[in-house]
A and B are shown apart, each in its own frame.
Chain A
Amino acid sequence: MSVSALELHDVHKSFGRHEVLRGIDLEVAEHEVVCLIGASGSGKSTLLRCVNLLEPIDAGRIVVGGEEVTGRGVDVNRVRRRIGIVFQAFNLFPHMSVLRNVTLAPIHALGKSRGEAEREARALLERFGLGGRAGDYPDRLSGGQQQRVAIVRALAMRPDLMLLDEVTSALDPELVAEVLQVIRELAAGGMTMVIATHEMSFARDIADRVCFLDDGVILEQGPPERILSEPTEPRTRQFLERILAAGRM
Protein backbone atom coordinates (compact mmCIF):
# COMPACT_ATOMS: atom_id res chain seq x y z
CA MET A 1 0.00 0.00 0.00
CA SER A 2 1.46 3.33 -0.97
CA VAL A 3 1.57 6.17 1.54
CA SER A 4 -0.66 9.17 0.89
CA ALA A 5 1.14 12.43 0.31
CA LEU A 6 -1.24 14.19 2.66
CA GLU A 7 -3.97 13.16 5.06
CA LEU A 8 -6.23 15.39 7.11
CA HIS A 9 -8.33 13.74 9.80
CA ASP A 10 -11.17 15.71 11.38
CA VAL A 11 -9.22 18.99 11.37
CA HIS A 12 -10.79 21.86 13.32
CA LYS A 13 -9.60 25.45 13.43
CA SER A 14 -11.17 28.51 15.04
CA PHE A 15 -10.23 32.16 15.02
CA GLY A 16 -11.66 33.43 18.28
CA ARG A 17 -15.25 32.30 18.33
CA HIS A 18 -15.48 31.77 14.61
CA GLU A 19 -14.89 28.15 13.62
CA VAL A 20 -13.34 28.28 10.15
CA LEU A 21 -12.63 24.58 9.69
CA ARG A 22 -15.27 22.30 11.16
CA GLY A 23 -13.94 18.80 10.69
CA ILE A 24 -11.98 18.44 7.46
CA ASP A 25 -11.15 14.96 6.18
CA LEU A 26 -9.02 14.83 3.08
CA GLU A 27 -6.57 12.40 1.57
CA VAL A 28 -4.27 13.32 -1.28
CA ALA A 29 -2.34 10.61 -3.12
CA GLU A 30 1.14 11.13 -4.47
CA HIS A 31 1.14 12.93 -7.84
CA GLU A 32 -2.48 13.86 -7.33
CA VAL A 33 -3.73 17.39 -8.02
CA VAL A 34 -6.61 18.45 -5.82
CA CYS A 35 -8.43 21.73 -6.35
CA LEU A 36 -10.30 23.37 -3.51
CA ILE A 37 -13.21 25.51 -4.62
CA GLY A 38 -15.74 27.45 -2.58
CA ALA A 39 -16.78 30.96 -1.68
CA SER A 40 -14.43 33.41 0.03
CA GLY A 41 -14.39 32.61 3.72
CA SER A 42 -15.25 28.94 3.20
CA GLY A 43 -11.90 27.95 4.71
CA LYS A 44 -9.74 27.18 1.65
CA SER A 45 -6.83 29.43 2.61
CA THR A 46 -7.00 28.45 6.27
CA LEU A 47 -6.86 24.79 5.29
CA LEU A 48 -3.67 25.34 3.29
CA ARG A 49 -2.10 27.47 6.01
CA CYS A 50 -2.85 24.74 8.55
CA VAL A 51 -1.16 22.09 6.41
CA ASN A 52 1.93 24.30 6.24
CA LEU A 53 1.71 24.73 10.05
CA LEU A 54 1.47 28.50 9.65
CA GLU A 55 -1.71 28.18 11.73
CA PRO A 56 -1.87 25.72 14.63
CA ILE A 57 -4.97 23.51 14.48
CA ASP A 58 -7.32 23.08 17.43
CA ALA A 59 -8.22 19.43 16.90
CA GLY A 60 -7.59 16.61 14.45
CA ARG A 61 -4.47 15.26 12.78
CA ILE A 62 -2.45 16.18 9.71
CA VAL A 63 -0.15 13.56 8.20
CA VAL A 64 2.38 14.43 5.51
CA GLY A 65 4.10 11.60 3.68
CA GLY A 66 3.14 9.13 6.42
CA GLU A 67 4.42 11.31 9.25
CA GLU A 68 2.07 13.09 11.62
CA VAL A 69 3.05 16.76 11.70
CA THR A 70 0.51 18.01 14.22
CA GLY A 71 1.86 15.95 17.11
CA ARG A 72 3.88 17.35 19.97
CA GLY A 73 7.58 17.92 19.52
CA VAL A 74 7.44 18.04 15.73
CA ASP A 75 10.12 20.28 14.19
CA VAL A 76 7.92 22.66 12.20
CA ASN A 77 10.84 23.97 10.19
CA ARG A 78 11.72 20.50 8.96
CA VAL A 79 8.09 19.86 7.98
CA ARG A 80 7.80 23.17 6.13
CA ARG A 81 10.90 22.42 4.06
CA ARG A 82 9.00 19.50 2.48
CA ILE A 83 5.90 21.59 1.76
CA GLY A 84 5.97 24.53 -0.61
CA ILE A 85 3.29 27.19 -0.32
CA VAL A 86 2.58 30.05 -2.71
CA PHE A 87 0.42 32.95 -1.57
CA GLN A 88 -2.13 35.10 -3.33
CA ALA A 89 -0.05 38.24 -2.70
CA PHE A 90 3.30 36.67 -3.84
CA ASN A 91 5.07 37.80 -0.64
CA LEU A 92 8.45 38.05 -2.32
CA PHE A 93 11.18 39.67 -0.26
CA PRO A 94 11.37 43.19 -1.75
CA HIS A 95 14.88 43.92 -0.51
CA MET A 96 16.43 40.97 -2.32
CA SER A 97 17.08 40.22 -5.96
CA VAL A 98 15.10 37.43 -7.60
CA LEU A 99 18.10 35.12 -7.29
CA ARG A 100 18.48 35.86 -3.57
CA ASN A 101 14.74 35.33 -3.03
CA VAL A 102 15.08 31.87 -4.53
CA THR A 103 18.37 30.87 -2.87
CA LEU A 104 17.69 32.21 0.66
CA ALA A 105 15.95 29.10 2.01
CA PRO A 106 18.11 26.47 0.24
CA ILE A 107 21.21 28.15 1.69
CA HIS A 108 19.95 28.80 5.22
CA ALA A 109 17.35 26.08 5.77
CA LEU A 110 18.95 23.26 3.76
CA GLY A 111 22.57 24.30 4.27
CA LYS A 112 23.44 24.26 0.58
CA SER A 113 26.50 26.14 -0.60
CA ARG A 114 25.85 29.46 -2.33
CA GLY A 115 27.27 28.13 -5.57
CA GLU A 116 25.09 25.05 -5.64
CA ALA A 117 21.96 26.95 -4.60
CA GLU A 118 22.54 29.57 -7.29
CA ARG A 119 23.17 26.98 -9.98
CA GLU A 120 19.90 25.24 -9.14
CA ALA A 121 18.01 28.51 -8.84
CA ARG A 122 19.22 29.71 -12.24
CA ALA A 123 18.19 26.41 -13.81
CA LEU A 124 14.70 26.70 -12.31
CA LEU A 125 14.35 30.35 -13.32
CA GLU A 126 15.44 29.43 -16.85
CA ARG A 127 12.89 26.62 -16.98
CA PHE A 128 10.05 28.99 -16.11
CA GLY A 129 11.08 31.76 -18.48
CA LEU A 130 12.70 33.98 -15.85
CA GLY A 131 16.32 33.39 -16.80
CA GLY A 132 16.95 37.05 -17.58
CA ARG A 133 15.41 38.26 -14.33
CA ALA A 134 17.78 36.75 -11.75
CA GLY A 135 19.39 40.08 -10.88
CA ASP A 136 16.20 42.15 -10.80
CA TYR A 137 14.38 43.27 -7.68
CA PRO A 138 10.74 42.15 -7.32
CA ASP A 139 9.31 45.66 -7.87
CA ARG A 140 10.77 45.66 -11.37
CA LEU A 141 8.69 42.62 -12.35
CA SER A 142 5.09 42.28 -13.50
CA GLY A 143 2.62 40.55 -11.17
CA GLY A 144 2.73 37.40 -13.28
CA GLN A 145 6.52 37.31 -13.17
CA GLN A 146 6.51 37.92 -9.42
CA GLN A 147 4.14 35.03 -8.86
CA ARG A 148 6.26 32.77 -11.05
CA VAL A 149 9.28 33.75 -8.97
CA ALA A 150 7.30 32.88 -5.83
CA ILE A 151 6.55 29.45 -7.30
CA VAL A 152 10.21 28.96 -8.20
CA ARG A 153 11.19 30.05 -4.69
CA ALA A 154 9.00 27.30 -3.25
CA LEU A 155 10.22 24.73 -5.81
CA ALA A 156 13.86 25.46 -4.97
CA MET A 157 13.29 23.62 -1.70
CA ARG A 158 12.38 20.50 -3.74
CA PRO A 159 9.14 20.02 -1.84
CA ASP A 160 7.13 16.79 -1.87
CA LEU A 161 3.92 18.79 -1.85
CA MET A 162 2.91 22.20 -3.18
CA LEU A 163 0.10 24.28 -1.76
CA LEU A 164 -1.19 27.09 -3.97
CA ASP A 165 -3.44 29.65 -2.34
CA GLU A 166 -5.44 31.52 -5.02
CA VAL A 167 -2.21 32.34 -6.78
CA THR A 168 -3.89 34.16 -9.67
CA SER A 169 -6.44 36.19 -7.71
CA ALA A 170 -4.23 39.26 -7.34
CA LEU A 171 -3.22 39.30 -11.00
CA ASP A 172 -4.49 41.37 -13.89
CA PRO A 173 -6.48 39.10 -16.22
CA GLU A 174 -3.87 39.15 -18.99
CA LEU A 175 -1.21 37.85 -16.56
CA VAL A 176 -3.20 34.87 -15.30
CA ALA A 177 -2.38 32.53 -18.18
CA GLU A 178 1.40 32.56 -17.72
CA VAL A 179 1.04 31.55 -14.07
CA LEU A 180 -1.50 28.82 -14.82
CA GLN A 181 0.87 27.50 -17.49
CA VAL A 182 3.58 27.08 -14.86
CA ILE A 183 1.19 25.14 -12.64
CA ARG A 184 0.20 22.92 -15.57
CA GLU A 185 3.87 22.13 -16.13
CA LEU A 186 4.25 21.18 -12.47
CA ALA A 187 1.23 18.89 -12.69
CA ALA A 188 2.62 17.30 -15.84
CA GLY A 189 5.86 16.71 -13.98
CA GLY A 190 3.98 14.75 -11.33
CA MET A 191 4.04 17.31 -8.52
CA THR A 192 1.51 16.62 -5.78
CA MET A 193 -0.54 19.78 -5.35
CA VAL A 194 -3.43 21.18 -3.38
CA ILE A 195 -4.74 24.28 -5.14
CA ALA A 196 -7.27 26.75 -3.79
CA THR A 197 -8.69 28.51 -6.83
CA HIS A 198 -11.52 30.56 -8.30
CA GLU A 199 -10.55 29.59 -11.85
CA MET A 200 -13.12 26.88 -12.58
CA SER A 201 -12.02 26.10 -16.12
CA PHE A 202 -8.47 25.74 -14.86
CA ALA A 203 -9.68 23.39 -12.11
CA ARG A 204 -11.54 21.35 -14.70
CA ASP A 205 -8.34 21.13 -16.77
CA ILE A 206 -5.82 20.31 -14.19
CA ALA A 207 -7.50 18.68 -11.20
CA ASP A 208 -7.70 14.96 -10.61
CA ARG A 209 -10.27 15.78 -7.98
CA VAL A 210 -12.25 18.86 -6.98
CA CYS A 211 -13.37 19.50 -3.41
CA PHE A 212 -16.15 21.98 -2.71
CA LEU A 213 -15.66 23.67 0.66
CA ASP A 214 -18.65 25.23 2.31
CA ASP A 215 -18.64 26.77 5.76
CA GLY A 216 -15.62 24.84 6.98
CA VAL A 217 -16.46 21.37 5.68
CA ILE A 218 -15.83 19.53 2.42
CA LEU A 219 -19.41 19.27 1.26
CA GLU A 220 -18.77 17.42 -1.95
CA GLN A 221 -15.81 16.00 -3.84
CA GLY A 222 -15.10 14.00 -6.94
CA PRO A 223 -13.73 14.20 -10.49
CA PRO A 224 -13.91 17.73 -11.88
CA GLU A 225 -16.38 16.84 -14.70
CA ARG A 226 -18.88 15.58 -12.16
CA ILE A 227 -18.48 18.27 -9.48
CA LEU A 228 -18.45 21.15 -11.95
CA SER A 229 -21.16 19.82 -14.28
CA GLU A 230 -23.50 17.69 -12.21
CA PRO A 231 -23.06 18.57 -8.55
CA THR A 232 -25.43 16.70 -6.25
CA GLU A 233 -25.44 19.21 -3.38
CA PRO A 234 -27.70 22.26 -3.78
CA ARG A 235 -25.04 24.49 -2.16
CA THR A 236 -22.48 23.44 -4.75
CA ARG A 237 -24.97 24.16 -7.52
CA GLN A 238 -25.72 27.61 -6.08
CA PHE A 239 -22.02 28.41 -5.84
CA LEU A 240 -21.35 27.32 -9.42
CA GLU A 241 -24.32 29.32 -10.68
CA ARG A 242 -22.98 32.44 -9.00
CA ILE A 243 -19.55 31.81 -10.53
CA LEU A 244 -21.17 31.30 -13.92
CA ALA A 245 -23.16 34.53 -13.54
CA ALA A 246 -19.92 36.36 -12.73
CA GLY A 247 -18.47 35.05 -16.01
CA ARG A 248 -15.64 33.17 -14.35
CA MET A 249 -16.36 29.82 -15.97
Chain B
Amino acid sequence: MTAGGEGGRAVAIALVSTVVVFTALGLLITHAPGWPEVRRTFFDWAEFKASMPEIARAFLLNVKMFCIAEGFILVIALLLAVLRSLPSPVFFPLRALAIVYADFFRGVPTILVIALLGFGAPALQLKHVPLSTTFWGIVALVLVYTAYVSEVYRAGIESVHPSQEAAARSLGLTRGQALRHVVLPQAVRRVVPPLLNDFIGLQKDTALVGFLGSVEAFKQSQIDAAATFNYTAFLAAAVLFVALTIPLARLTDWLIARDRRRRQTARVA
Protein backbone atom coordinates (compact mmCIF):
# COMPACT_ATOMS: atom_id res chain seq x y z
CA MET B 1 0.00 0.00 0.00
CA THR B 2 2.76 2.39 1.02
CA ALA B 3 4.94 1.30 -1.88
CA GLY B 4 2.05 1.75 -4.31
CA GLY B 5 1.34 5.20 -2.88
CA GLU B 6 4.96 6.23 -3.24
CA GLY B 7 5.09 4.83 -6.77
CA GLY B 8 1.93 6.74 -7.63
CA ARG B 9 3.37 9.95 -6.25
CA ALA B 10 6.57 9.47 -8.26
CA VAL B 11 4.54 9.02 -11.43
CA ALA B 12 2.53 12.15 -10.64
CA ILE B 13 5.66 14.20 -10.03
CA ALA B 14 7.24 12.93 -13.23
CA LEU B 15 4.08 13.80 -15.15
CA VAL B 16 3.81 17.32 -13.75
CA SER B 17 7.48 18.13 -14.28
CA THR B 18 7.33 16.80 -17.84
CA VAL B 19 4.29 18.94 -18.65
CA VAL B 20 5.92 22.03 -17.08
CA VAL B 21 9.22 21.58 -18.92
CA PHE B 22 7.65 20.91 -22.29
CA THR B 23 5.12 23.73 -21.96
CA ALA B 24 7.93 26.14 -21.12
CA LEU B 25 9.98 24.91 -24.03
CA GLY B 26 6.97 25.12 -26.36
CA LEU B 27 6.15 28.65 -25.27
CA LEU B 28 9.79 29.70 -25.66
CA ILE B 29 9.95 28.39 -29.20
CA THR B 30 6.54 29.56 -30.36
CA HIS B 31 7.14 33.05 -28.97
CA ALA B 32 10.54 33.40 -30.65
CA PRO B 33 10.62 36.23 -33.19
CA GLY B 34 11.38 33.87 -36.08
CA TRP B 35 8.77 31.26 -35.16
CA PRO B 36 6.15 32.04 -37.85
CA GLU B 37 8.83 31.73 -40.51
CA VAL B 38 10.22 28.50 -39.03
CA ARG B 39 6.76 27.02 -38.73
CA ARG B 40 6.06 27.80 -42.37
CA THR B 41 9.31 26.25 -43.68
CA PHE B 42 9.72 23.28 -41.30
CA PHE B 43 6.28 22.34 -40.05
CA ASP B 44 4.06 22.62 -43.09
CA TRP B 45 1.51 19.84 -42.73
CA ALA B 46 0.43 19.95 -46.38
CA GLU B 47 4.04 19.74 -47.45
CA PHE B 48 4.63 16.89 -45.03
CA LYS B 49 1.78 14.86 -46.49
CA ALA B 50 2.82 15.65 -50.05
CA SER B 51 6.46 14.67 -49.63
CA MET B 52 5.97 11.61 -47.41
CA PRO B 53 5.12 8.96 -50.04
CA GLU B 54 8.19 9.65 -52.13
CA ILE B 55 10.49 9.86 -49.12
CA ALA B 56 9.04 6.66 -47.71
CA ARG B 57 9.78 4.96 -51.03
CA ALA B 58 13.34 6.32 -50.92
CA PHE B 59 13.59 5.17 -47.31
CA LEU B 60 13.23 1.60 -48.50
CA LEU B 61 16.71 2.04 -49.98
CA ASN B 62 18.00 2.93 -46.51
CA VAL B 63 16.40 -0.19 -45.11
CA LYS B 64 17.87 -2.26 -47.92
CA MET B 65 21.35 -0.82 -47.46
CA PHE B 66 21.09 -1.37 -43.73
CA CYS B 67 20.02 -5.00 -44.05
CA ILE B 68 22.69 -5.91 -46.61
CA ALA B 69 25.45 -4.11 -44.71
CA GLU B 70 24.41 -5.62 -41.38
CA GLY B 71 24.59 -9.15 -42.76
CA PHE B 72 28.12 -8.69 -44.03
CA ILE B 73 29.26 -6.81 -40.93
CA LEU B 74 28.07 -9.52 -38.53
CA VAL B 75 30.01 -12.21 -40.37
CA ILE B 76 33.20 -10.35 -41.34
CA ALA B 77 33.59 -8.70 -37.94
CA LEU B 78 33.30 -12.07 -36.22
CA LEU B 79 35.99 -13.55 -38.47
CA LEU B 80 38.21 -10.57 -37.76
CA ALA B 81 37.69 -10.84 -34.00
CA VAL B 82 38.47 -14.57 -34.04
CA LEU B 83 41.59 -13.84 -36.08
CA ARG B 84 42.75 -11.36 -33.48
CA SER B 85 42.17 -13.85 -30.67
CA LEU B 86 44.47 -16.51 -32.18
CA PRO B 87 47.48 -16.78 -29.92
CA SER B 88 49.89 -18.49 -32.32
CA PRO B 89 52.87 -16.35 -33.46
CA VAL B 90 52.27 -17.63 -37.01
CA PHE B 91 49.21 -15.40 -37.18
CA PHE B 92 51.04 -12.27 -36.09
CA PRO B 93 50.94 -10.62 -39.55
CA LEU B 94 47.19 -11.18 -39.73
CA ARG B 95 46.71 -9.85 -36.22
CA ALA B 96 48.77 -6.77 -37.04
CA LEU B 97 46.73 -6.20 -40.18
CA ALA B 98 43.49 -6.52 -38.23
CA ILE B 99 44.71 -3.95 -35.71
CA VAL B 100 45.73 -1.47 -38.44
CA TYR B 101 42.35 -2.00 -40.08
CA ALA B 102 40.41 -1.34 -36.90
CA ASP B 103 42.49 1.72 -36.05
CA PHE B 104 42.13 3.20 -39.52
CA PHE B 105 38.42 2.75 -40.05
CA ARG B 106 37.49 3.82 -36.57
CA GLY B 107 39.65 6.91 -36.96
CA VAL B 108 38.48 8.20 -40.33
CA PRO B 109 35.07 9.95 -40.42
CA THR B 110 32.46 7.73 -42.08
CA ILE B 111 31.52 10.44 -44.57
CA LEU B 112 35.14 10.55 -45.77
CA VAL B 113 35.30 6.79 -46.31
CA ILE B 114 32.03 7.00 -48.24
CA ALA B 115 33.34 9.87 -50.37
CA LEU B 116 36.71 8.23 -51.04
CA LEU B 117 35.20 4.90 -52.07
CA GLY B 118 32.10 6.26 -53.76
CA PHE B 119 33.96 8.71 -55.95
CA GLY B 120 37.32 6.92 -56.12
CA ALA B 121 36.48 3.28 -56.80
CA PRO B 122 34.21 3.80 -59.84
CA ALA B 123 36.80 6.23 -61.26
CA LEU B 124 39.26 3.34 -61.54
CA GLN B 125 37.02 1.99 -64.33
CA LEU B 126 37.90 -1.60 -63.50
CA LYS B 127 36.03 -4.29 -65.37
CA HIS B 128 33.31 -6.22 -63.52
CA VAL B 129 33.39 -3.71 -60.67
CA PRO B 130 30.00 -2.08 -60.18
CA LEU B 131 29.75 1.65 -60.75
CA SER B 132 26.67 2.05 -58.59
CA THR B 133 27.13 4.61 -55.83
CA THR B 134 24.80 2.63 -53.61
CA PHE B 135 27.09 -0.40 -53.95
CA TRP B 136 30.14 1.61 -52.88
CA GLY B 137 28.17 3.30 -50.14
CA ILE B 138 27.32 -0.11 -48.70
CA VAL B 139 30.95 -1.22 -49.02
CA ALA B 140 32.07 1.89 -47.12
CA LEU B 141 29.51 1.29 -44.34
CA VAL B 142 30.59 -2.35 -44.08
CA LEU B 143 34.25 -1.33 -43.81
CA VAL B 144 33.61 1.27 -41.11
CA TYR B 145 31.13 -0.67 -39.01
CA THR B 146 33.06 -3.94 -39.26
CA ALA B 147 35.91 -2.15 -37.48
CA TYR B 148 33.60 -1.20 -34.60
CA VAL B 149 31.72 -4.46 -34.41
CA SER B 150 34.87 -6.60 -34.47
CA GLU B 151 36.04 -4.69 -31.39
CA VAL B 152 32.73 -5.46 -29.70
CA TYR B 153 33.05 -9.15 -30.54
CA ARG B 154 36.65 -9.16 -29.35
CA ALA B 155 35.66 -7.73 -25.99
CA GLY B 156 33.08 -10.51 -25.75
CA ILE B 157 35.59 -13.23 -26.57
CA GLU B 158 38.02 -11.87 -24.00
CA SER B 159 35.30 -11.78 -21.36
CA VAL B 160 34.92 -15.58 -21.49
CA HIS B 161 37.18 -17.01 -18.81
CA PRO B 162 40.13 -19.08 -20.13
CA SER B 163 39.03 -21.97 -17.89
CA GLN B 164 36.06 -22.46 -20.23
CA GLU B 165 38.36 -23.13 -23.14
CA ALA B 166 40.59 -25.29 -20.95
CA ALA B 167 37.57 -27.39 -19.94
CA ALA B 168 36.58 -27.85 -23.58
CA ARG B 169 40.11 -28.72 -24.68
CA SER B 170 40.54 -31.12 -21.75
CA LEU B 171 37.64 -33.15 -23.15
CA GLY B 172 39.53 -33.62 -26.41
CA LEU B 173 37.77 -30.93 -28.44
CA THR B 174 39.96 -29.12 -30.94
CA ARG B 175 40.64 -25.39 -30.61
CA GLY B 176 38.15 -24.70 -33.39
CA GLN B 177 35.46 -26.83 -31.73
CA ALA B 178 36.08 -25.18 -28.37
CA LEU B 179 35.76 -21.77 -30.00
CA ARG B 180 32.62 -22.66 -31.89
CA HIS B 181 30.69 -24.54 -29.20
CA VAL B 182 31.97 -23.00 -25.97
CA VAL B 183 33.65 -19.61 -26.35
CA LEU B 184 31.75 -17.87 -29.15
CA PRO B 185 28.20 -18.71 -28.01
CA GLN B 186 28.98 -17.17 -24.61
CA ALA B 187 30.86 -14.22 -26.11
CA VAL B 188 28.14 -13.31 -28.61
CA ARG B 189 25.39 -13.56 -26.01
CA ARG B 190 27.20 -11.07 -23.82
CA VAL B 191 27.68 -8.47 -26.55
CA VAL B 192 24.19 -8.43 -28.03
CA PRO B 193 23.29 -5.05 -26.42
CA PRO B 194 26.41 -3.19 -27.67
CA LEU B 195 25.97 -4.84 -31.08
CA LEU B 196 22.42 -3.50 -31.32
CA ASN B 197 23.74 -0.10 -30.32
CA ASP B 198 26.13 -0.12 -33.26
CA PHE B 199 23.29 -1.11 -35.55
CA ILE B 200 21.25 1.87 -34.49
CA GLY B 201 24.23 3.96 -35.60
CA LEU B 202 24.40 2.06 -38.88
CA GLN B 203 20.71 2.64 -39.60
CA LYS B 204 21.24 6.38 -39.31
CA ASP B 205 24.49 6.43 -41.24
CA THR B 206 22.84 4.95 -44.33
CA ALA B 207 21.70 8.56 -44.86
CA LEU B 208 25.33 9.49 -45.55
CA VAL B 209 25.24 7.45 -48.75
CA GLY B 210 22.89 10.11 -50.14
CA PHE B 211 26.01 12.26 -50.33
CA LEU B 212 27.12 10.10 -53.30
CA GLY B 213 23.86 10.75 -55.11
CA SER B 214 21.96 7.60 -54.22
CA VAL B 215 18.37 8.65 -53.76
CA GLU B 216 17.69 7.46 -50.24
CA ALA B 217 15.42 9.21 -47.76
CA PHE B 218 17.75 12.10 -46.92
CA LYS B 219 18.67 12.75 -50.57
CA GLN B 220 15.01 12.60 -51.55
CA SER B 221 14.07 15.12 -48.91
CA GLN B 222 16.89 17.38 -50.10
CA ILE B 223 15.46 17.19 -53.62
CA ASP B 224 11.98 18.01 -52.31
CA ALA B 225 13.27 20.87 -50.20
CA ALA B 226 15.18 22.34 -53.13
CA ALA B 227 12.08 22.14 -55.34
CA THR B 228 9.64 23.71 -52.88
CA PHE B 229 11.92 25.94 -50.76
CA ASN B 230 10.38 24.17 -47.79
CA TYR B 231 12.29 22.03 -45.31
CA THR B 232 9.34 20.02 -44.00
CA ALA B 233 10.57 17.13 -46.15
CA PHE B 234 13.53 16.73 -43.77
CA LEU B 235 11.08 16.34 -40.92
CA ALA B 236 9.35 13.58 -42.85
CA ALA B 237 12.68 11.77 -43.33
CA ALA B 238 13.52 12.23 -39.64
CA VAL B 239 10.19 10.72 -38.62
CA LEU B 240 10.93 7.64 -40.72
CA PHE B 241 14.41 7.15 -39.22
CA VAL B 242 13.10 7.55 -35.70
CA ALA B 243 10.28 5.11 -36.38
CA LEU B 244 12.91 2.52 -37.36
CA THR B 245 15.45 3.14 -34.59
CA ILE B 246 13.08 3.43 -31.64
CA PRO B 247 12.06 -0.24 -31.62
CA LEU B 248 15.71 -1.27 -31.85
CA ALA B 249 16.69 1.15 -29.08
CA ARG B 250 13.91 -0.17 -26.79
CA LEU B 251 14.93 -3.75 -27.57
CA THR B 252 18.52 -2.87 -26.62
CA ASP B 253 17.39 -1.30 -23.34
CA TRP B 254 15.27 -4.32 -22.57
CA LEU B 255 18.12 -6.73 -23.26
CA ILE B 256 20.54 -4.74 -21.09
CA ALA B 257 18.01 -4.66 -18.25
CA ARG B 258 17.36 -8.38 -18.57
CA ASP B 259 21.09 -9.09 -18.55
CA ARG B 260 21.54 -7.01 -15.39
CA ARG B 261 18.63 -8.77 -13.69
CA ARG B 262 20.11 -12.15 -14.57
CA ARG B 263 23.51 -11.29 -13.21
CA GLN B 264 21.95 -10.02 -10.00
CA THR B 265 19.93 -13.18 -9.47
CA ALA B 266 23.02 -15.24 -10.25
CA ARG B 267 24.93 -13.37 -7.53
CA VAL B 268 22.13 -13.85 -5.01
CA ALA B 269 22.03 -17.56 -5.81
Interface residue ranges, A against B (CB under 8 Å): 52, 54, 77-78, 80-81, 85, 87, 89, 91-95, 104-105, 108-110, 139, 153-154, 157
B244 to chain A, nearest CB (A): 31
Q: Which listed residue, B164, B166, B167, B172, touches A109 by the CB 8 Å rule?
A: B172
A-B contact pairs, 23 of them (CB 8 A): A52-B170, A54-B169, A78-B172, A80-B169, A80-B172, A81-B171, A81-B172, A87-B163, A87-B167, A89-B163, A91-B164, A93-B168, A93-B182, A95-B186, A104-B181, A104-B182, A105-B168, A109-B171, A109-B173, A109-B177, A139-B266, A153-B171, A154-B171
Docked pose: A78 CA to B189 CA in angstroms: 30
* Interfacial chain A residues near B172, Cβ < 8 Å: 77-78, 80-81, 105, 109-110, 157
Q: CA separation between A81 and B269, bound complex, in Å?
A: 33
Quote the shortest CB–CB distance from A96 to chain B (angstroms): 8
| B36 within 8 A of partner (CB) | no
Contact, CB under 8 Å: B170 / A85: yes
The main secondary structure of chain B at its interface with chain A is: helix
Q: Are A91 and B181 in touch, CB under 8 angstroms?
A: no
* B interface residue numbers (CB < 8 A to A): 163-164, 166-174, 177, 181-182, 185-186, 189, 266, 269
Q: Are A105 and B171 interface neighbours, CB within 8 A?
A: yes
* Shortest Cβ gap from A55 to chain B (Å): 10
CA gap between A77 and B269 in the complex, in Å: 35
CA–CA, A105 and B171, complex, Å:
6
Would A80 and B170 count as touching, CB distance under 8 A? yes
In the assembled complex, which residues on chain B have CB atoms less than 8 Å from the CB atom of A109?
171-174, 177
Query: In the complex the two chains form, what is the Cα distance from A104 to B182 in whole Å?
Result: 10
Give min CB distance, A209 to chain B, whole Å.
Answer: 24
With the chains together, A1 CA to B164 CA distance in Å?
Answer: 40
| A109 vs B185: C-alpha distance when bound (angstroms) | 18
Measured in the bound complex, the distance between the Cα atoms of B177 and A77 in whole Å is 11
